[in-house]
Amino acid sequence: MFDASKKRHRLRIIDPAYPAFNIYSYSARRTTPLGPVCVATAVNEMVGWDVEVIDENNLRRYGPQANTGADHEFLQRLRPADVVGLYGGLTSTIPRLYQIARFYKEAGILTIAGGQHFIEENIEEALSSGIDYVVIGEGEETIQELLQALMGKQDIGTVKGVAYKRDGKIAYTAARDPITDFDKLPLPDFSLVRYANIQVYPVERIRGCGMDCEFCTVKGKPRPASSERLLERISFLLETKDARKFFVVDDLFGQQRDETIRFCRMLKDYQKDTGRRLDLGVQIRLDKAKDPELLTAMRQAGINFVAIGFESPIGEELKAMNKRLRPEDMLAFTKIFRRFGFLAHGMFIFGYPVKTGVNFRMSASERIKYFKSFIRKSKLDTIQVLLPVPLPGTELRQRLKQQNRIYPFQDLGWEYYDGNFLLFQPDQPMSAEEMQASPMKIMGKVYQFKYMFMVSLNVFAFPYLVFFLHNIKSGWKKWYRPWRMYLIRFVGWITMKKWLSAFKKNDFLKKLQQAKKNLGNSRESGNS
């Protein structure tokens, strides 16, 4: 039980491990989620509290590793936690989150959970799975108030944005308004992340997204911090961690066009003044290709990598997603990004379910041809093809539930909600097995073993390229982009092989067959 009389307490925040190896595993071992670090930093400013973050997907420095994630028995012996926070930002990690919660709950430790998964329809599930308190919404301010309440310095009813059980029933405190003044928050302290080897540091300026995509949980009017604050985050990490690689986790970079350009120019000047070159990646809309001033400012600021949500080259699917793009414009926009020198990563969703009343039928093989043709013509450096995920809190999940198309939860639980597995009955004439296999068929044309040899050839070609151009700087620019692309594509091939091995061990196709059967039985019983 929580002992409020202690002079110092410890909060341990845990980012749960993925349920199995997947396409995100390589990136996860090089970075860490920003949310847990922000919440931990807020608590670290409180008197009498020590804080640490354990990222189970990045335990690379002498970490207390177990078969899955961290060895929490070891952590409790080494540094006992009084309160444990659990990050529920990814739905597929929720079973592991509950497993960790039960371990600490049985040890008498108070447990708190928060993240995108915990919308109202999942609160009962959480509070019955080892969680004492659920934080609803952003956590930096709520966690401070909640810990004050646990110490008897504040009434629990006055803590905004919390759900908990009282007398066997769920009690909700008043909702907390979204944070708008980000400059008052402390700079995220990545030194609180234990055992991790962070190579790419996440930073942000804007929370929220106004694009209202049907499959996405991020909604609401964008709320920005100042450009000075973002530059301060980057400079702080450069000075304290010698960080050179960053990823701006804003859902859409450039939502405030003029302010974004101002930030890019500030970052350019900062690198000139310090003599340090930085490497940044961002997520951006494809139609920003129409803004050459923005793209120029981005390149001059050291933004080299852009992740773009193409979603689909099929118009009917784009309409179903509420995406405001036309397939005929997508190739032209992509060429502009490449002409500016960006490494372009295309993110796609295969087999998106069209809405009721739309007369559209296409086989899996025809869809694959569309995707392969578009990817070949666009000359994207890297791609990611996932299946649609009916995440909690999305309009897509609501629509598919109303149509009784989501496979039963007892067959395919939260651990499959990561985009690598089919979770609902697909549109005709596609079969479930065809749709499940299609993303790997598409990505297999991009990620191939041959790129190992091309990486080697590129290494040997560098001196000759420099000699031919008579300039080391020009030779580097000509050499680096294909070398980096070949390397990523070879790593992508390794990732695919590992995922396919894990897929076979999981025996997912048998589970899919059972899920199809049970869905069919429930439909029949519902119609009778």
- The amino acid sitting at 399 is R
User: What are 374-394's pLDDT values in tens digits?
Assistant: 999 999 999 999 999 999 999
Residues 154 and 201 in one domain: no
Residues 156 and 202 in one domain: no
Bridge partner list, 113:
86, 134
User: What are 308-341's pLDDT values in tens digits?
Assistant: 999 999 988 888 887 777 888 899 999 999 999 9
CA separation, residue 145 to residues 153, 155, 184, 372 (Å): 9, 9, 16, 52
User: What are 458-509's pLDDT values in tens digits?
Assistant: 776 666 555 555 555 555 666 677 888 888 899 899 989 988 888 888 889 9
- In whole angstroms, give the CA distance from residue 430 to residue 426: 6
Residues in the chain: 528
Residue 395: inside a domain, yes or no? yes
Residue 408: inside a domain, yes or no? yes
Which tokens go with 134?
């659920």
Residue 272: inside a domain, yes or no? yes
Predicted local distance difference test score (pLDDT) of residue 474? 58
pLDDT band at residue 277 using 50, 70 and 90 as cut-offs: very high
User: What are 410-449's pLDDT values in tens digits?
Assistant: 999 999 999 999 999 999 999 999 999 999 999 999 999 9
Residues 440 and 321 in one domain: yes
- Under 8 Å between Cβ of 403 and 356: yes
- Under 8 Å between Cβ of 86 and 113: yes
Residue 192: inside a domain, yes or no? no
Residues 425 and 296 in one domain: yes
Residues 161 and 18 in one domain: yes
What's 149's domain CATH number? 3.40.50.280
Residues 347 and 417 in one domain: yes
Please choose, from the candidates 308, 343, 349, 351, the residue with its C-alpha nearest in 3D space to the C-alpha of residue 329.
Answer: 308
How many distinct structural domains can be found in the chain?
A: 2
Residue 225: inside a domain, yes or no? yes
Cα radius of gyration rounded to whole Å, the chain: 24
Residue 393: inside a domain, yes or no? yes
What's 408's domain CATH number? 3.20.20.70
Q: Where are the alpha helices (DSSP H) in 46-184?
A: 72-78, 94-106, 123-127, 140-150
Last residue of a domain, one of 411, 446, 481: 446
Residues 241 and 156 in one domain: no
Residue 262: inside a domain, yes or no? yes
**What is the b/e burial string over 247-275, where b = at least 16 CB atoms within 10 angstroms of the residue's CB?**
bbbbbbbbbbeebbbebbebbbebbeeee
Q: Print the domain residue range for 139.
A: 9-172
Residues 90 and 210 in one domain: no
- Look at the block and give the residue holding tokens 């019955």: 128
Number of neighbours of residue 79 by Cβ within 10 angstroms = 12
Residues 155 and 298 in one domain: no
Residues 143 and 202 in one domain: no
Residues 210 and 162 in one domain: no
pLDDT band at residue 159 using 50, 70 and 90 as cut-offs: very high
Last residue of a domain, one of 446, 472, 503: 446
Residues 379 and 288 in one domain: yes
